[in-house]
Amino acid sequence: MKIKTLIITIVALGLAVIYLVPVIWMGLSSFMDEKDILASKWIPSRVHLENYKIVLHRAKISRWFINSLITASLGTLGVLGVGIFAGYSLGRMRYPGRRILFFFALSGFMIPIQGIMIPLYLMIRKFGLVNNLLGLILPAWPSSLAVFVLSQFMREIPIEYEEAARMDGANEFQILFKVILPMSLPAIITVTVFHFTAIWNDFLWPLIIMTSDDMYTLPVGLVTLAGSDVNIRYGPIMAANVIASLPIIIVYAFFQRYLARGFIMEVK
Amino acid sequence: MVVLKKRRHALLGYLFFLPFGVFFIIFRIIPFFESVRMVFYKWDILGTPKFVKFLNFKKMFSDPTFWSSLAHTFYFTLLTVPPLVILAFLIAVLINSRRVRGKDFLRTAFYLPFTLSISVVCLTWNMIYNPHFGIFAQIFKFFGAQPINWLGDSRWAMPAIALTTIWWTIGFNIVLYLAGLQQIPPSYYEAAELDGATGLQKMFYITIPLLKRVHALVIVLQILASLQIFGQVFIMTSGGPAGKTRVLLLYIYEKGFRYFKMGYAQTMAFFLFLTMIVFAYLQIRLMMGKER
């Protein structure tokens, strides 16, 4: 029995390490000069920090980083802002037409962004938001997924908590913010991590609406960087990759155990 | 008094929904109706749109590049969906096994690539596929074989992109499966063990059937994701070699945002939307579960 545990564990860990080889390689290459990389080395012959200097110096990577950070933060805040109220309304309030509104909100699942990106682009252009971070932020706000996850989670909270607060004279806002919201924290974290990562990593939409390299987000900036300057190759690109990846890995490390919980809750 | 309270409550209900509703109508519903309208227009970005009835559809159905792009999208979907479902399930079972130690590390290791940005993933894999110094080239050389130029070879480019995609996104499916596995009561397995069930029997009579809804959800989400393939191709091959990896969304992007044929591009986008709508509907049904 013990031996079986040992063998299965070794196999699983081995698979996981092999799985991480590309990430490890990315990290190692970011410290290599071009000669090492072309010679297929795995250990840098000397730790070569120039890659990071080149990228931070020559590319607008800090600018792209800030653009991504602003977009992902305000995008996610907006998703939560409109999503929490809508989720509370649909999940916990009773009024005529609630079910219709619920299905209306969910119809967003049927409208993939790729299907509407052209009219959406023309609209953003009309609003004068091309090459503007608001053009990335505002369209992210109405998230059907967020409303769905939040309303389903809030629905499960026992009515007794709400009734007790009502007895004490709490109004709807107080019930939402003092009773329901604190208890919905797992769902809120799920929504936050999911949308922050999705917006941070989005590629197609910023590629479409950003026209100057000052306004690129990290994913678009990285790709143009790799395609533009022949001097910025392998090593510096890998350094840029590392810089771009660290924040998300850190966010994930903090919140990983919550990530799937809200999303999968319904899958019983 | 009660009626008044009820009415106030209802009013607040609508009011709370309103902000979402407004943004939803502006950024989803209106563009959606626009997207349907646009397919009947010749719509260059500068000139005035011209109503052309079904001309865009006629053009699309006789455009060989449209058909090949569609075929490439389906090919990619076929290459990615089965492994992304089956392997994700098997890895999740492995991580969930009672006999495995280090579950947190394993889950993190397999999920980590999914947190990386598409650009980071593709630029790194471009290097991995490099025919001179990439990881596969090193392995081939080690065995004395001639390295393959994966992304430059019309037979291998799409499978290579598929492999990168599998590596990048499988973690998400694993997490969905893990959440499902954890909801199976251990008593089911204990009862089966008392009856002398083997590991395989437990797998086929307990694990797989009880995860029916998770399987369905993973498959549907994966088909939707694979049909929307764009970034990997854009970054790794730009549709090459010789257009062999040009997928539908890439063709739509080229027509719409390089040549500014908005009407024609939207017609193809509408077609893509139609291929996805069945799966999108299934997704809602699956996520809703018992809610009716």
**CB-CB under 8 Å, A120 with B20:** no
Residues 43-82 of B with CB under 8 A from A: 45
List the single residue in A with minimal CA-CA distance to B210: A268
- Please indicate if any CB of chain A lies within 8 Å of the CB of B5: no
- Among partner residues B17, B101, B115, which is closest to A89 by beta-carbon distance? B17
List the single residue in B with minimal CA-CA distance to A121: B31
**CB-CB under 8 Å, B284 with A252:** no
* pLDDT score of A232: 65
In a domain, B190, yes or no: yes
Please report residues of B whose CB lies closer than 8 A to that of A115. Answer: 32, 35, 269-270, 272-273, 276
**CB-CB under 8 Å, A9 with B102:** yes
Q: Identify the residue among B69, B111, B117 best suited for mutation to test binding to A, counting A beta carbons within 10 A and taking the highest.
A: B117
**CB-CB under 8 Å, B127 with A118:** no
CA dist B10 → A162, A172, B131 (Å) = 17, 11, 65
Spell out the domains of chain A, with CATH numbers in brackets: 2-49 (no CATH), 53-264 (1.10.3720.10)
- Please indicate if any CB of chain A lies within 8 Å of the CB of B262: yes
- Please indicate if any CB of chain B lies within 8 Å of the CB of A191: no
In a domain, B33, yes or no: no
In a domain, B271, yes or no: yes
- Please indicate if any CB of chain B lies within 8 Å of the CB of A35: no
- Please indicate if any CB of chain B lies within 8 Å of the CB of A43: no
Residues 21-50 of B with CB under 8 A from A: 21, 23-24, 26-32, 34-35, 38, 45
In a domain, B121, yes or no: yes
Coil, strand or helix at B32:
helix
pLDDT by residue for chain B (292 residues), tens digit each? 577 788 888 999 999 999 999 999 999 999 999 999 999 998 887 778 889 889 999 999 999 999 999 999 999 999 999 999 999 999 999 999 888 888 888 988 998 998 899 999 999 999 999 998 899 999 998 898 888 899 999 999 999 999 999 999 999 899 889 989 988 888 998 899 898 888 889 899 999 999 988 999 899 999 999 999 999 999 999 998 989 999 999 999 999 999 999 999 999 999 999 999 988 888 888 887 654 4
In a domain, B52, yes or no: no
In a domain, B38, yes or no: no
Take residue A30 and report the two structure tokens written for it. Answer: 């970011």
- Average pLDDT for A153-160: 91
- Average pLDDT for A237-242: 92
Q: Identify the residue among A34, A117, A118, A265 best suited for mutation to test binding to B, counting B beta carbons within 10 A and taking the highest.
A: A118
CA dist B21 → A71, A82, A241, B150 (Å) = 21, 9, 38, 47
CA dist A189 → A185, A186, B200 (Å) = 6, 5, 37
**How far does A168 lie from chain B, in Å, by closest CA?**
17
Take residue A193 and report the two structure tokens written for it. Answer: 């991590």
Give bridge partners of residue B261 from the DSSP assignment.
Answer: B44
Bigger pLDDT: A253 or B190? B190
- Please indicate if any CB of chain A lies within 8 Å of the CB of B83: no
Tell me how far apart the alpha carbons of residues A114 and B275 are, in angstroms, rounded to a whole number.
12
**CB-CB under 8 Å, B235 with A241:** no
By the 8 A CB rule, do A151 and A90 touch? yes
Highest mean pLDDT pick, A135-149, A195-209, A249-263, B96-110: A135-149
- Among partner residues B111, B133, B178, which is closest to A38 by beta-carbon distance? B133
ipTM, 2 dp: 0.88
- Nearby residues of A129 by Cβ (< 8 Å), 6 or more positions away: A135, A138, A209
In a domain, B1, yes or no: no
Q: How many CB atoms lie within 10 A of CB A182?
A: 9
- Among partner residues B102, B180, B291, which is closest to A13 by beta-carbon distance? B102
- Which CATH number fits the domain that encloses residue B85? 1.10.3720.10
- Please indicate if any CB of chain B lies within 8 Å of the CB of A134: no
List the single residue in B with minimal CA-CA distance to A120: B31
Number of domains in chain B: 1
What pLDDT digit, counting tens, does each position of A32-89 carry? 888 888 888 888 888 888 889 888 887 788 899 999 999 999 999 999 999 999 999 9
What band does A268 get if pLDDT is binned at 50, 70 and 90?
Answer: very low
Please report residues of A whose CB lies closer than 8 A to that of B94. Answer: 8, 11-12, 15
pLDDT at A265 over 60: no
pLDDT at A266 over 50: no
DSSP string, A56-93: HHHS-HHHHHHHHHHHHHHHHHHHHHHHHHHHHHHHH-
Q: What is the pTM of this model?
A: 0.90
Phi, psi of B285 (to 5 degrees): -55, -45
Helices (H), chain B: 2-24, 30-38, 55-61, 64-96, 103-115, 118-128, 135-142, 157-181, 186-194, 199-202, 208-210, 212-227, 231-236, 248-257, 262-288
> Domain containing B82: what range?
57-288
Coil, strand or helix at A12:
helix
pLDDT at A218 over 80: yes
* pLDDT score of A267: 39
**How far does B155 lie from chain A, in Å, by closest CA?**
23
List the single residue in A with minimal CA-CA distance to B37: A119
User: How do B41-42 and B50-51 pair as beta strands?
Assistant: antiparallel
In a domain, B69, yes or no: yes
**CB-CB under 8 Å, A267 with B289:** yes
